[in-house]
Structure 1
Amino acid sequence: MSHDGEGLYGILNERNIKEVQFGVDKRFPTWYGSNVYFDPESRALGYLEKNGSDGLSGSNGTNGHNKGDVQFWLDTLYVCEYCFKYTDNEEDLAGHAKHCRFQKHSPGKIKYKSPNYTIKRVKGTKHRLFCQCLCLFTKLFLDNKSMYFKVDHYEFYIVYETSSTKPMGFFSKDTVSYYQNNLACVLVFPPYQRRQLGTFLLDFSYKISKSEGLISGPEFPLSPFGLIGYVKYWSLKICWEFSEGELANMEKITLENISSVTGFRISDIITALKYLGCLGESDEIYLSILRKKLNRHSCEALVEDEYLLLDD
């Protein structure tokens, strides 16, 4: 996601933070480099230059690392798994976690609540520091479309296990979108991947759009991984509609029919049908092929309408 040209600011060609300690029991390597955590001259964590206004108290930003190393500026970044505040000191993180106000009550308003998962909407205008720290964290795992400071025009939809207050992933949505995009960026945090939560969040973004009567889709351009995720999701949803949904008994289908039912943009539907090998010349849809494509067990990650709480 980007705003005022800020989107790619801070991205480096190589990783500069070696690992993240996320809470007390989750440690994993970063995927991308970002200098936005640091003062550009001293390479100390930036909040240390601001008297602790953006993070926790900490030391000198090196936590034992050799400053002469040409790649890593920091061995370990310690990040609160409830509020995303950060430090370079393990003891400071442990002390903060005991008193973090979001440990018992996560921010935002519930928009979906099932026995398994809860999604909460957090407005950038209301929880600015939380959203800024979330965006800083995101920059370590997305290589594009990740702003971090100007969050006032964004909403963040954060997924939790219903029994927990630990965020597992999120997507952001621009509240002022000329193209009526329903998603700016999406990330499932490393410890929670391979649970189909990405598909779950994409589906929820379309539920929001449909509740608003919009035909919508993500902000472009998509990253390579983002495009793969979307093509698989669009294909899954279209196949399901033809197999068990509103299009199951229709003999003649147009792209407009599919768009009306799914809420997908026609250009995205074409991309998915080409991926499925079900689109011929003159946009002819091969229904017999399409109806055989669905794996009936693959829809388990989709949002269940009965648990939606979208009315404001």
Structure 2
Amino acid sequence: RVEITEGCRLPVLRKNQENEDEWPFAEILSVKDIHGKKLYYVHYIDFNKRLDEWVTPDRLDIKKLQFPKKEAKTPMKDGLPGSRPSSPERDVKKSLDLHVQSASATSRGKTLPTPKRKAESVSLATQVTAATPVPSLPGSAEASQASVYPTMRDSSFSIKSRDEHEPLTSLTTNGTTSIQRHLIPPLPGRKRKSCGGTDEVCPADKNARSQNQHDSQDSSDGIPSAPRMTGSLVSDRSHDDIVTRMKNIDCIELGRHRLKPWYFSPYPQELTSLLILYLCEFCLKYLKSLKCLQRHLTKCNLRHPPGNEIYRKGTISFFEIDGRKNKAYSQNLCLLAKCFLDHKTLYYDTDPFLFYVMTEYDSKGFHIVGYFSKEKESTEDYNVACILTLPPYQRRGYGKLLIEFSYELSKVEGKTGTPEKPLSDLGLLSYRSYWSQTILEILMDLKSENGERPQITINEISEITSVKKEDVISTLQYLNLINYYKGQYILTLSEDIVEGHEHAMQKRHLRIDPKCLHFTPKDWSKRGKW
């Protein structure tokens, strides 16, 4: 009988979104023996890690078994070649390699950036630069005006696109010329996108592909941006070993919901063997048994997140929580969030961060729906560090509500904001959907004066929405609305775009009411300590 070991690849039976059988290739990450029965932890190739699972031998197709390739440059471990050359090493040699790499980079006259401070609880592992390169449009009051052309689907009005090799000189708001860039030409056969989309953190698409197959996070030059090494999200792959590649918590009971985690979260080792991890839904303290939870609830006085309630409308409330004043709650929140956020490294220094927790109220208290965090001081205009809607509340509009609330805070602060990059696959979908709907809402409300087509500048859209100018431009390009015609930029709204937007807005019932927001921004730069 053929022995299946770690690193082997073979087809594994699973159910797809239509509940049909399929046999995608998967890699064996771990093998365990329980009472004489073997279980295999598999990662489906080109699928998101949240679909990884333990499977029984009857779901494996050993006829197409592929053993790990033994390469000449296989990393050595205790003098022997590793059994899984494709897996990250976990020994001291890895850290030595990092030191050697750092030294070689320094010898070439380069210095590697280092984090200024510890990062927030949850930090992304692959980060892009603060200023994501996007083609700029003319920004002066005259040059950046774009006419809005409502056109019909069968309209004979044609627009001549700018030659893709013709340089585009962009002007900043003060009229100075900046680096020349090109507008992205429309992809062959690409249809205009409707403004619809999924919610921020919608449920796992059963056919969700890996995050590396998504586009370049609005990097319009098509060049992958370098990892960002400062701020709340730090690029860090040093912990990407076989342990953190596997889910370590089977099930979490949070109030009336049971959650199946998607990813690894560094809860204490002794809790990972439990069938169910119990959390107090108000203080998020983790407990090992239902009896412990019941005893805890008799002593826990919280019926809502700690901190100040800064918004309430109907049953929806938002609480602002200071990561320094409520350290235990913030750390527990991040441990929970890590179960559903991939490529994160969890730190326990929550002092530099604010957490905004959205809750739903009933007779038993305020139940957590989702949250986002932000730096108290951000030099790159980030208004969101991490954002999550818990799985039971996904695909119900709460993700967009979180995003909308983050921009309402930016409006009160008098700033434009942007989320830290890169976004997750689901986060990117939701932000693009929110940006599209918000911008189209403004364009469709424009009134023409004196019979002329309405005009608006990119800066004006940014000021009205508090969406950063680069995100406005990338969204207009993503929707394929920008055209160059007779020496000026025009925004062409087709019938498909208009119909798609109206259909999406009809389904969007949850909205933030600015009148219900009671929020006074603090100037953290003038405070000696957060």
Q: Which residue is 2:343 aligned to?
A: 144
**Structure 2 unpaired stretches of 5+:** 1-121, 124-231, 522-530
Given the alignment, which residue of 185, 188, 200 partners 2:386?
A: 185
Q: Which residue is 1:158 aligned to?
A: 357
Residue 107 (structure 1) aligned with residue 306 (structure 2):
yes
Pairwise mapping of residues 151-230 of structure 1 onto structure 2 (< 5 A)? Answer: 151-163=350-362, 164-230=365-431
Deviates more, 1:79-88 or 1:93-102: 93-102
Cα pair 2:361 2:367 within 8 Å, conserved: no
Residue 310 (structure 1) aligned with residue 519 (structure 2):
yes
Distance 1:95 1:9 in 2: 39
**Structure 1 unpaired stretches of 5+:** 46-60, 64-74
Given the alignment, which residue of 466, 481, 491 partners 1:285?
A: 491
Cα pair 1:113 1:162 within 8 Å, conserved: no
> How far 1:253 sits from its partner (Å)?
2.1
Q: Which residue is 1:87 aligned to?
A: 287
- Equivalent pairs: percent with the same residue? 32
Given the alignment, which residue of 317, 332, 336 partners 1:133?
A: 332
Distance 2:468 2:249 in 1: 39
Pairwise mapping of residues 46-65 of structure 1 onto structure 2 (< 5 A)? Answer: 62-63=273-274
> How far 1:237 sits from its partner (Å)?
0.9
Distance 1:145 1:208 in 2: 25
> How far 1:215 sits from its partner (Å)?
1.2
Given the alignment, which residue of 115, 124, 134 partners 2:323?
A: 124
Q: Which protein shows a greater Rg?
A: 2
Cα pair 2:312 2:517 within 8 Å, conserved: yes
Task: Provide the aligned C-alpha RMSD in A.
Answer: 2.4
Cα pair 1:30 1:140 within 8 Å, conserved: yes
Given the alignment, which residue of 1, 13, 17 partners 2:245?
A: 13
Q: Which residue is 2:165 aligned to?
A: none
Cα pair 1:241 1:248 within 8 Å, conserved: no
Shift in CA distance, 146/280, structure 1 to aligned 2, threshold 3 Å:
farther
Deviations 1:129-170 (CA, angstroms, capped at 9, x unpaired): 000000011110111346341100110101112443211111
Given the alignment, which residue of 458, 466, 490 partners 1:255?
A: 458
> How far 1:116 sits from its partner (Å)?
2.9
Read off the aligned partner of 1:259 and give its amino acid letter.
S
Q: Which residue is 1:67 aligned to?
A: none
> How far 1:126 sits from its partner (Å)?
0.9
The structure that is strand-richer by fraction is 2
Count of aligned positions: 277
Given the alignment, which residue of 262, 265, 282 partners 1:31?
A: 262
Deviates more, 1:127-136 or 1:88-97: 88-97
Cα pair 1:14 1:32 within 8 Å, conserved: yes
Q: TM-score, length-normalised on structure 2?
A: 0.49
The structure that is helix-richer by fraction is 1
Cα pair 1:18 1:30 within 8 Å, conserved: yes
> How far 1:248 sits from its partner (Å)?
4.9
Q: Between the two structures, name the one with larger relative contact order (CA 8 Å, sep ≥ 6).
A: 2
Distance 2:309 2:323 in 1: 15
Distance 2:402 2:239 in 1: 26
Read off the aligned partner of 1:97 and give its amino acid letter.
L
Distance 1:172 1:9 in 2: 24
